[in-house]
Structure 1
Amino acid sequence: MHASHAWRQRLSTGTAVAQEEVNGWYRETPRGKGYVPAMVWGTLQTEAYATIVLRRVVAFLDVPDDVAAGAAKRMERQQVLYDGEHHYDVVLGEQALYTDIGGPKVMTEQLERLLRDIGLPSLSLGVLPRAAEVACVPAPGFNLHGDGRAHYELVSGSVDIVDPAEVDLHEKAFGALSAAACYGDAAEELIRQALAFWRDV
């Protein structure tokens, strides 16, 4: 079973309400998983990075502009990384380190943030190398919130998958992505390579 939610409807009053809804999901998820192939996972974004992402959302969807409030809510979400009650397994695609969100200054600050937080006890952060062989078909990003739900964010809306057999396949896919990703020193090296790229731009 799938449930879809159109962005223009969800964001009809701006981004802050939707961000607070997502914050609730994270607060209620002691253990979660996320695969994000082409941008930085929202809960690790700097305020500058998040502001630009949300500004693009507002402009693209032509919804009310409350970007500052939405970014502030996204920053509040990061409390789950420091409260000692949550743990997240996250795999970023290597492309996420190079997708231009805001230019060299914003990207440099964002990658420095990843290097600072990669060792958090609440976080297992992997980077999937661009040439990695993965034992599943290529897939868009998704989150597993630990409540029997796989969540996708697409161009026109979001989709929640709740059929247990389908959620199990997402767990299997995440396992394959995680197995192919780099962690620890190897992940840090990929981030440092990207950081050097942005510092030289």
Structure 2
Amino acid sequence: MSTDYQQAREALGLELRRLRLTAADGRLTGLELAARAGWPSSSKVTKLELGKQTPTPQDLRAWTDAVGHPEAYEPCLARLRGFESQIRSWKRQLAQGHRPVQAAHNAAQTKAKVLRAWESSWVVGILQTPGYARAILRHFAALHGSKRDDIEDAVAARMERQRLLYEPGRQYHIVMSESVLRHLVCPPADLAAQLSYLSGVIGLKSVELGIVPFSASLRLPPAAGFWIYDDRQVVTETWHAELWLDDDVTVATYLKVWKTLRESAVYGADAQNVINAAMRALNGQ
């Protein structure tokens, strides 16, 4: 978890503690507040105040009502939304389902005109085929114990994103490692369909697709994938959360990384040759 995120959570915890100590009808103990909020013990109160647990909007409502300061709910919620807009926990996102996550990415890409991406683990979402996307989403649903059965809706939403490839005035600059073409993250038949689709992408006017071959010299290690929207916002993933970052220094760093990795990529016919080699290797298995 990032230092900025943790500091923001601790600051919200201090505000919650202040509200408890200045309750409308007198200072409350943790046990008293927990009882009023309908929580089984005071451990949740302690975790929230120390910034060891992220409150939900429902937690904030229960807290501000319990201390007799309902007017404090909106300011506390604004703080929560502020740091959650940058670091979006998978657990909390997927509690609402997989389709809303895809819808958020669709909306972000719709607003952007120049989109840059780097990926070394899997094919970027906008270039995925249904079978490949379905496999990826199922893997992540299993990892995070998602109980929302909306994988097919999420696949459909991810496929909807591909219409952006054909809208005028938008340009995608996508660089991926050759490893993306080789990882069996889906059944072989689905990977074969995915590789075939990527071959066709090379001819799209809106997409500049670069592949970094295994044989290429790298000035930086591949590391995690990311998107840069209009050189103003970065979206990257960790195993526990998505990071949506927009401060100038961070964006400049990711842009420098992207440009450095791009120097090792091949394009056009050379990229096609790398894809064809991956298809031959797959067929030979």
Query: Partner residue of 1:36?
Result: 119
- Give the Cα separation in 2 of the matches to 1:113 and 1:48: 12
Query: Partner residue of 2:208?
Result: 124
Higher helix fraction (1 or 2)? 2
- Alpha-carbon shift at residue 58 of structure 1 (Å): 1.1
Select 1:80's aligned residue among 164, 175, 180. 164
Question: Can you give the 5+ residue segments of structure 1 that lack an aligned partner in the other structure?
Answer: none
* Secondary structure at 1:5 match in 2: strand
* 2:231–2:251 CA contact under 8 A, matched in 1: no
* 1:34–1:144 CA contact under 8 A, matched in 2: yes
- Give the Cα separation in 2 of the matches to 1:160 and 1:77: 19
Query: Partner residue of 2:237?
Result: 153
After TM superposition, the score normalised by the length of structure 1 is 0.95
Query: Partner residue of 2:95?
Result: 12
- Give the Cα separation in 1 of the matches to 2:249 and 2:93: 28
- Give the Cα separation in 1 of the matches to 2:142 and 2:250: 33
* Secondary structure at 2:220 match in 1: coil
- The percentage of counterpart residues that share the same residue type is 28
Q: Which amino acid aligns with 1:116?
A: G
- Alpha-carbon shift at residue 136 of structure 1 (Å): 3.0
After TM superposition, the score normalised by the length of structure 2 is 0.68
Query: Partner residue of 2:187?
Result: 103
Query: Partner residue of 2:36?
Result: none
- Alpha-carbon shift at residue 137 of structure 1 (Å): 4.4
* Secondary structure at 1:180 match in 2: coil
String of CA shifts for 1:119-157, please: whole Å, max 9, x gaps.
100100000112322233442111101161111111111
Backbone CA RMSD of aligned residues: 1.4
Query: Partner residue of 2:262?
Result: 178
Question: Can you give the 5+ residue segments of structure 2 that lack an aligned partner in the other structure?
Answer: 6-85
String of CA shifts for 1:51-84, please: whole Å, max 9, x gaps.
1111111111111121000000000000000122
Higher strand fraction (1 or 2)? 1
* 1:29–1:147 CA contact under 8 A, matched in 2: no
Matched, 1:89 2:173: yes
Query: Partner residue of 2:21?
Result: none
String of CA shifts for 1:22-74, please: whole Å, max 9, x gaps.
10011111110000112111100000100111111111111112100000000
Query: Partner residue of 1:22?
Result: 105
* Secondary structure at 1:55 match in 2: helix
- Alpha-carbon shift at residue 102 of structure 1 (Å): 1.7
Superposed structure 1 runs of 4+ greater than 6 Å apart: none
Q: Which amino acid aligns with 1:82?
A: Y
Matched, 1:142 2:236: no
Select 2:277's aligned residue among 188, 193, 196. 193
Larger RCO of the pair (alpha carbons < 8 Å, separation 6+): 1
Q: Which amino acid aligns with 1:4?
A: I
Alignment length (residue pairs): 201
- Alpha-carbon shift at residue 163 of structure 1 (Å): 2.0
Which structure would you say has the larger Rg?
2
Q: Which amino acid aligns with 1:109?
A: A
- Give the Cα separation in 1 of the matches to 2:168 and 2:214: 32
* Secondary structure at 2:176 match in 1: strand
